[in-house]
């Protein structure tokens, strides 16, 4: 057998190479995120420089936190650091810019978080937070940054939500992509209904008078990202003014908790505005009043249990961090 392996070793080498290439491709699949190598910009000293409108791809797998370079008190409850990495952008001209996050493929459903700040790298006392985004989904989103100053470096810190392992794309651009990064109402507040038809209602404010159409998106609570459902054109009155009140009815085919977004589009290049976010919970059961109340209470308890689980994970991470700091500073 050994002589046979020696004789045909050269013939089998290309096949082994092909298997290695195939294995490399498998490592790029979402299910194999844990096998990815740590990115160089895990440390702030190696932060990656971003160019305007040039998207980069990265992942949070295997990243660690330089605790001397962050301060969770600056962001409050918005973010807890678990596996962050660093970027830097310096605009050539003063003005409005957008941070576009897209293409997320994560181990969990929670996606990535982003903090944008100014200050000296790894000197938290000099930091000033401009934006903190933590949505808990994998939607393509944009964060608006107004009045960035020409020649001023800005730090961008990306972290996986509760240590989620994520692939993602990131770009600082003069054009937004995706939906505005605004936190939805808490899902625990939704009341279960038995009607599979749900009518969404919204108003066109005077401040968005240039709107030409609305887009309706929907995401079930367990899904990764929202899907486009409908386009509703802006209507005119007989006097040529914009109609201000709008409705759209959805027919649900499966029970679940659904989050609806209504976006107002003014032009092909402008930033869409979010005019409505609303949860709707649909159940096929026909409960009486007491059982409906019990269902709602059970849903609230499940939401509370999930929140407490996330808080415990965060608390364990903080204890681990403190223990590491004590060992490094005896």
Domains assigned to the chain: 32-178 (2.60.120.380), 187-288 (2.70.50.50)
The pLDDT tens digits of the residues spanning 147-174 come to 999 999 999 999 998 878 899 999 999 9
- Alpha carbon distance 128, 130 (integer Å): 6
pLDDT above 90 for 214: yes
Judge whether 115 and 76 are in contact, CB under 8 Å: no
Q: Taking the model in full, what pTM does it have?
A: 0.75
Task: Name the most confidently modeled range: 23-32, 120-129, 286-295, 297-306.
Answer: 120-129
Q: Which tokens belong to 48?
A: 């990656």
Q: Which of 8-12, 139-143, 232-236 shows the lowest mean pLDDT across its residues?
A: 8-12
Looking only at the bridges linking them, the beta strands covering 192-193 and 273-282 are parallel
DSSP, res 90: -
Residues in the chain, overall count: 330
pLDDT above 60 for 94: yes
Q: What confidence score (pLDDT) does residue 137 get?
A: 86
Q: What confidence score (pLDDT) does residue 303 get?
A: 60
Residue 93 phi/psi, 5° resolution? -130, 150
Q: What confidence score (pLDDT) does residue 48 get?
A: 98
Q: Can you tell me the mean pLDDT for 305-313?
A: 62
Q: What confidence score (pLDDT) does residue 285 get?
A: 74
Q: Can you tell me the mean pLDDT for 101-113?
A: 89
pLDDT greater at residue 246 or residue 294: 246
Judge whether 51 and 90 are in contact, CB under 8 Å: no
Looking only at the bridges linking them, the beta strands covering 154-160 and 112-118 are antiparallel
pLDDT above 50 for 103: yes
Closest CA to 164 of 47, 40, 79: 79
Helix, strand or coil for residue 129?
strand
pLDDT above 70 for 321: no
Give the percent of the chain with pLDDT over 70. Answer: 76
Edge-to-edge strand list for the sheet holding 227-233: 192-193, 273-282, 256-265, 213-220, 227-233
Give the percent of the chain with pLDDT over 90. Answer: 60
Q: How many CB atoms lie within 10 A of CB 276?
A: 17
pLDDT above 50 for 5: no
- Alpha carbon distance 255, 247 (integer Å): 22
Closest CA to 83 of 183, 166, 23, 175: 166
pLDDT above 60 for 143: yes
DSSP H helical segments within the chain, as ranges? 2-27, 289-328
Residue with structure tokens 């059961």?
A: 285
pLDDT greater at residue 113 or residue 301: 113
Q: Can you tell me the mean pLDDT for 15-24?
A: 43
pLDDT above 60 for 3: no
Q: What confidence score (pLDDT) does residue 188 get?
A: 79
Per-residue pLDDT band at 28 (split at 50, 70, 90): very low
Helix, strand or coil for residue 112?
strand
Q: Can you tell me the mean pLDDT for 74-91?
A: 94
Q: Can you tell me the mean pLDDT for 80-91?
A: 96
pLDDT above 70 for 71: yes
pLDDT above 50 for 330: yes
Q: Can you tell me the mean pLDDT for 226-249?
A: 94
pLDDT above 60 for 270: yes
């Amino acid at each position: 057998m050994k002589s046979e392996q020696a004789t045909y070793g050269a013939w089998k080498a290309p096949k082994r190479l092909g298997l290695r290439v195939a294995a490399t491709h498998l490592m790029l699949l979402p299910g194999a995120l844990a096998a990815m190598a740590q990115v160089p910009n895990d440390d702030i000293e190696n932060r990656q420089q971003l160019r305007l409108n040039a998207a980069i791809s990265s992942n949070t797998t295997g990243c660690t936190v330089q605790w001397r370079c962050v301060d969770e008190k600056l962001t409050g409850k918005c973010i807890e650091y678990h596996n962050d990495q660093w970027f830097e952008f310096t605009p050539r001209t003063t003005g409005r810019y957008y941070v576009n996050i897209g293409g997320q493929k994560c181990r969990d459903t929670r996606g990535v978080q982003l903090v944008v700040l100014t200050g000296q790298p790894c000197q938290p006392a000099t930091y000033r937070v401009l934006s903190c985004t933590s949505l808990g989904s994998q939607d393509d989103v944009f964060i608006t940054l107004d009045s960035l100053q020409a020649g001023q470096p800005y730090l961008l810190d990306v972290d996986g939500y509760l240590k989620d392992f994520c692939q993602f794309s990131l770009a600082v651009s003069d054009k937004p992509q995706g939906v505005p990064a605004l936190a939805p109402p808490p899902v625990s507040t939704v009341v279960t209904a038995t009607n599979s038809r749900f009518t969404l209602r919204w108003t066109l404010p005077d401040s968005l008078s240039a709107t030409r159409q609305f887009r309706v998106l929907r995401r079930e609570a367990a899904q990764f990202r929202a899907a486009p459902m409908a386009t509703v054109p802006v209507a005119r009155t007989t006097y040529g003014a914009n109609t201000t009140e709008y409705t759209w009815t959805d027919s649900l085919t499966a029970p679940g908790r659904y989050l609806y977004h209504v976006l107002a589009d003014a032009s092909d290049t402008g930033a869409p505005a979010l005019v409505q976010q609303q949860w709707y919970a649909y159940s096929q059961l026909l409960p009486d009043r007491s059982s409906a109340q019990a269902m709602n209470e059970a849903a609230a308890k499940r939401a509370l249990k999930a929140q407490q689980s996330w808080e415990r994970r965060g608390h364990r991470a903080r204890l681990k961090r403190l223990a590491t700091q004590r060992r490094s500073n005896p």
